[in-house]
A and B are shown apart, each in its own frame.
Chain A
Amino acid sequence: MSQPLFAVAFVLALLAFVWTLAGRMRLLLRARPAGRAHQLRARTRRLALDGLGQRRLLRGEQPAGIMHALIFWGFLVLLLQIITQFGRAVNASWNIPVLGPGQPLGPPFFLLRDLAEAAVSVAAVYMLYRRLIAHTPRLFGLTGAEDRYRTQPHREGALILAMILVIMAGGLVADGGRLVAQNIHGQERTFAPLTALVADLLSGLGRRDARIVGEVGWWLHCLTVLLFLELLPRSKHFHIITALPNVFFAKIAPAGAIPAAALDSPAPAPGRSPGVTAAADLSWKQVLDAFSCTECGRCSAVCPATAAGAPLAPRQLILDLRDNLYGRKSARADSVTALAEPEADAAMAQPDAGVDGAAVLVADAVLWSCTTCAACMEACPVGIEHVPTIVELRRSLVDRGHVEPLMQATLERIAAQGNAYGKSARMRPRWTRSLGFKIPDARKQPVDYLWFVGDVASFDERAQASSRRLAQILHDVGISFGILYDGERNAGNDVRRVGEEGLFELLVEHNLDAFAGAQFKAIFTADPHSLNTLRNEYPAYGLEAPVQHYTELLCSLLADGSLTLRPALHGLRVTYHDPCYLGRYNHVTDAPRTLISATGAELVEMPRHGAGTFCCGAGGGRMWMDDSGLAERPSELRIREAQQLGEIDRFVVSCPKDLAMYSDAATTLGAHFQVTELTALIEEAISAP
């Protein structure tokens, strides 16, 4: 092994690597704070499960997921192999202390090393197959929203995989050659079946030639590793370094909370608007997200907006941020900047130009397409947080007055009347009129449970019927509950996610005021969006009461015997759609299923269920925005998914928005099943006491 030559190569490579890395680090250090240095135990646990345990990859698409896991675990072991080989630049017989022959951890190391080399090679070959032969679409770009990604060369993936194979082969040849050259027959051969095989293949060459071949293998191995190191921070394989930290620092609980804008009061700092306008506004976590994107596309593959043909694809968004940070031209394709109306920009002067003078990071239409369902975050194996970033980008748009026109009208209605429908607040409790009893006014008499009804459940006709059913069920059970009548306002979940922080805070203040004027012990709601913000975000403003979804409440009543359900629906085949804000954000998936099963109905699951549920398309303010650009609405795609289940009688929902969206979609598609709210099933199954 030519020591000086290698030393030079090594030092040069290391310098180059450090130099590139420093550039990346600078971007991190210059970024805004992200406040992640807390809840360390929970973070460590998640690092173990998602990072080291590769949990999301094992859960997701297969066999791609397990293949990546093999490469990951393989490399954890092979890191030691690399160190060993580099050490042999100095001493051809060097082993890492404790991992050498005759040492307790030696044999296990040799065995693991060989297994790792085998597994990694198989996985790499499979992955090359996906890229070069199968052309798996997810790897090359899905839909028009990823056109910029699709039109870029995708050589990098295949190149890196080829390099991995070379590193494996090089290492095996180096070790195998060494076994022959040094005539080793001990543990290093007996516990290393693959290396021994290579050694056997090389033994025909004789010891001197075997040594030369081994050296060639060694050089190949080490130089390729150094080359790999160079490419790391310049490519999507940067994730090899950044993914584990990114997972560690990913947002912990509460998952459903979006961080408040640091609304400087009395006025935003001069030249600085709320949210993210330019790359300079990103936090270090957002920068790390951009570094860590592996371009795997799992996010885009589960995104309802992408599936519907909207301009948003989460992968493309993150890559655009990354390219902007790296100053790459590909980030500023026409469609990125074209959407800021020139007239508007002349009229509203940009307070701060972005990085490289490009004021627009992501086009408006892309940002407004997001339903905030978080399927992307659930699928992402490296802990990228797409949704909070989109919300922060939206905040910047809202601050500059660039709001989607229909949404603007909705926000103005919410600000004026406290509800998205623009109806008088006095109309809010109208849905209660045809009930045979009066629901107590929690402002006037103490109740156990405050029912936060929500806009849709109060004003949408179909949802009103569900509200009445729920009221009747609870009344019959004898639960003490009340509502706020016209004192309730939109909870603000979607207002915050649209980026109107000021209006969100106004709503929170008003609602907390209303709560303060009422007497209750706990809150429940039938609206998962309201649930999400009341449970996860209102506490930061002072709310202390526990908040439940009505299915959780009914489940507890079922458990303690207050509510009895006969299996009256035996023979009815149903499927259940988990609302994003209930099943994914707040992990309430069992309660509705317990209730369904108690009614006797047979539950047939859709492929995407539980935390993997597919969004109806109404969240993030989308319900009030223009749909005309979509190829097919997410709700219709979901109904099609249900239609694939065969004979289904009911499509069961437990969210008022879902009820509205899916009723329409089922009608449009002429589905044979009926879209029903869960309370309808429960109503049928209630037995007389």
Chain B
Amino acid sequence: MTGDVFVLVEHHDGAVTESTYELLARARSLAAATGGRAVACLLGHDARPLADGLAADAVLLMQDEALAAFVPEAYVAALATLLQAHDPRLLLIANSTVGIDVAAPLAVSSGRPLIAYCEALAIEDETLVATSQVYGGRLRAEIELRGPAIVTVVGSGLAVSRGDGEPLPVVESASAPAIELASAPDLSGLRTRFIARHEPDVGDVDIAREDVLVSVGRGIDGAENIELAEDLAEALGGAVSGSRPVIDAGWLPKARQVGKSGQRVKPRLYLACGISGAPEHLEGLAGPELLVAINTDPNAPIFDVADYGTTEDLFDVLPALVEALHGAGA
């Protein structure tokens, strides 16, 4: 086992994800302590141009037609080859669909333990300790990693806004990293095939660009009540967004979803109304300037990350706030 910290580069449609840069930053600080290199694993086809912007000590570039799009089976096979050949201490993957799809089968095939939902990795007296979110974000678990491991990491945005952890620099490296070519394994017998990529309807509003978001969760209790949020959004000059349950119920279109499988948003003001604050939702918040939570459940995890909160009923607060705002001019 070397002291290397590998990071899987996640990229889609020619763009590297923000989470990858966060992971590389983590990898660099960990590698310094483990005495190894921070290595970016870039799998793809015609992916060479993506390597230049990666802030790593080295980039392992593996190219194959079968890796042109994200095909889980291909990625697992490719990564297994890399792990076999290089035996790094850690492989970091983002807690995204890619991570969830790839990490577990890879853990089995490579015989390495997997730690999921990790939000912090630190060296304590030469022991690597991972801290992960469990039970819907209500608790944290600490695990000691003595041998090699695969770790899926959640986005750091909220941890920063909470005041924990240092902001991880999202920096494109001034100098291009050393590129090492890795040969792909035999990817001819794959049983999974990529068919197509579908972009969502952006609709009239791009919530990722909004400065103010009034976001509603299950607590809004019905499509007819979205109006309350819309009134407030209008008064604030923002837009309405929602968590997954609201989109699943059809009360808001998909384009308004904030969360792991929705949009990542970075507004100045995020008003979370009737949202419990499950990790999958929080992953969509890349550190708003001001997070205000309205939820009648005093134990809701959202209050752990909010700047201001109230347990008053959103059905009372939203209209009252609209009134107060109109009166603010008086």
Residues of A at the B interface (CB closer than 8 Å) are: 405-406, 461, 626-628, 664
Chain A residue contacts of B224, Cβ below 8 A: 626-628
Chain B residue contacts of A664, Cβ below 8 A: 315
Q: Which residue of B lies closest to A667 (CB)?
A: B319
Instruction: Please tell me if B223 contacts chain A, counting CB pairs below 8 Å.
Output: yes
Cα distance A461–B249 when bound, in Å? 26
Q: Which residue of A lies closest to B245 (CB)?
A: A409
B313:A405 contact, CB within 8 angstroms: no
Shortest C-beta distance, A389 to chain B (Å), equals 28
Partner of A626, one of B222, B313, B315: B222
B249:A626 contact, CB within 8 angstroms: no
13 pairs from A and B in contact (CB 8 Å cutoff)? A405-B249, A406-B221, A406-B222, A461-B313, A626-B222, A626-B223, A626-B224, A627-B222, A627-B224, A628-B222, A628-B223, A628-B224, A664-B315
Q: Which of B221, B222, B249 has the most CB of A within 10 A?
A: B222
Cα distance A628–B221 when bound, in Å? 12
Cα distance A461–B223 when bound, in Å? 23
Cα distance A627–B224 when bound, in Å? 7
Shortest C-beta distance, B119 to chain A (Å), equals 27
State the 3 A-B residue pairs at the shortest beta-carbon distance, nearest first.
A628-B224, A626-B222, A627-B224
**Interface residue range, chain B:** under 10
Cα distance A628–B224 when bound, in Å? 5
Chain A residue contacts of B221, Cβ below 8 A: 406
Give residues 225-248 of B contacting A (CB, 8 Å). none
Cα distance A664–B228 when bound, in Å? 13
Q: Which residue of A lies closest to B313 (CB)?
A: A461
Cα distance A406–B250 when bound, in Å? 12
Shortest C-beta distance, B252 to chain A (Å), equals 14
Shortest C-beta distance, B315 to chain A (Å), equals 8
Chain A residue contacts of B315, Cβ below 8 A: 664
Chain A residue contacts of B222, Cβ below 8 A: 406, 626-628
Shortest C-beta distance, B177 to chain A (Å), equals 51
Chain B residue contacts of A626, Cβ below 8 A: 222-224
Chain B residue contacts of A405, Cβ below 8 A: 249
Q: Which residue of A lies closest to B222 (CB)?
A: A626
B 287-330 binary contact with A (CB < 8 Å = 1; else 0)? 00000000000000000000000000101000000000000000
Q: Which residue of A lies closest to B311 (CB)?
A: A461
Cα distance A627–B313 when bound, in Å? 19
Shortest C-beta distance, B232 to chain A (Å), equals 16
Give residues 42-81 of B contacting A (CB, 8 Å). none
Shortest C-beta distance, A248 to chain B (Å), equals 44
Cα distance A406–B313 when bound, in Å? 19
Shortest C-beta distance, B31 to chain A (Å), equals 45
Cα distance A406–B249 when bound, in Å? 9
Chain B residue contacts of A461, Cβ below 8 A: 313
Cα distance A627–B249 when bound, in Å? 15
Q: Which residue of B lies closest to A461 (CB)?
A: B313
Cα distance A406–B222 when bound, in Å? 8
Shortest C-beta distance, B261 to chain A (Å), equals 21
Chain B residue contacts of A627, Cβ below 8 A: 222, 224
Cα distance A461–B311 when bound, in Å? 11
Give residues 267-303 of B contacting A (CB, 8 Å). none
Chain A residue contacts of B249, Cβ below 8 A: 405
Chain B residue contacts of A406, Cβ below 8 A: 221-222
- Given contact pairs A626-B223, A628-B222, a sample of 4 additional A-B residue pairs in the complex whose CB atoms are under 8 Å apart: A405-B249, A406-B221, A406-B222, A628-B224
Cα distance A153–B315 when bound, in Å? 47
Cα distance A406–B224 when bound, in Å? 12
Cα distance A627–B221 when bound, in Å? 11
Cα distance A406–B221 when bound, in Å? 8
Give residues 203-227 of B contacting A (CB, 8 Å). 221-224
Cα distance A626–B222 when bound, in Å? 6
Cα distance A675–B136 when bound, in Å? 40
Q: Which residue of A lies closest to B297 (CB)?
A: A423
Q: Which residue of A lies closest to B223 (CB)?
A: A628
Cα distance A627–B227 when bound, in Å? 13
Cα distance A417–B221 when bound, in Å? 18
Cα distance A664–B225 when bound, in Å? 13
Cα distance A627–B315 when bound, in Å? 15
Cα distance A405–B246 when bound, in Å? 13
Shortest C-beta distance, B166 to chain A (Å), equals 37
Q: Which residue of B lies closest to A427 (CB)?
A: B297
Cα distance A3–B276 when bound, in Å? 88
Shortest C-beta distance, A20 to chain B (Å), equals 48
B 254-268 binary contact with A (CB < 8 Å = 1; else 0)? 000000000000000
Cα distance A67–B328 when bound, in Å? 62
Cα distance A405–B224 when bound, in Å? 14
Cα distance A664–B222 when bound, in Å? 16
Shortest C-beta distance, B28 to chain A (Å), equals 45
Q: Which residue of B lies closest to A423 (CB)?
A: B297
Q: Which residue of B lies closest to A624 (CB)?
A: B221
Q: Which residue of A lies closest to B227 (CB)?
A: A628
Cα distance A461–B316 when bound, in Å? 11
Shortest C-beta distance, B242 to chain A (Å), equals 16
Cα distance A104–B48 when bound, in Å? 119
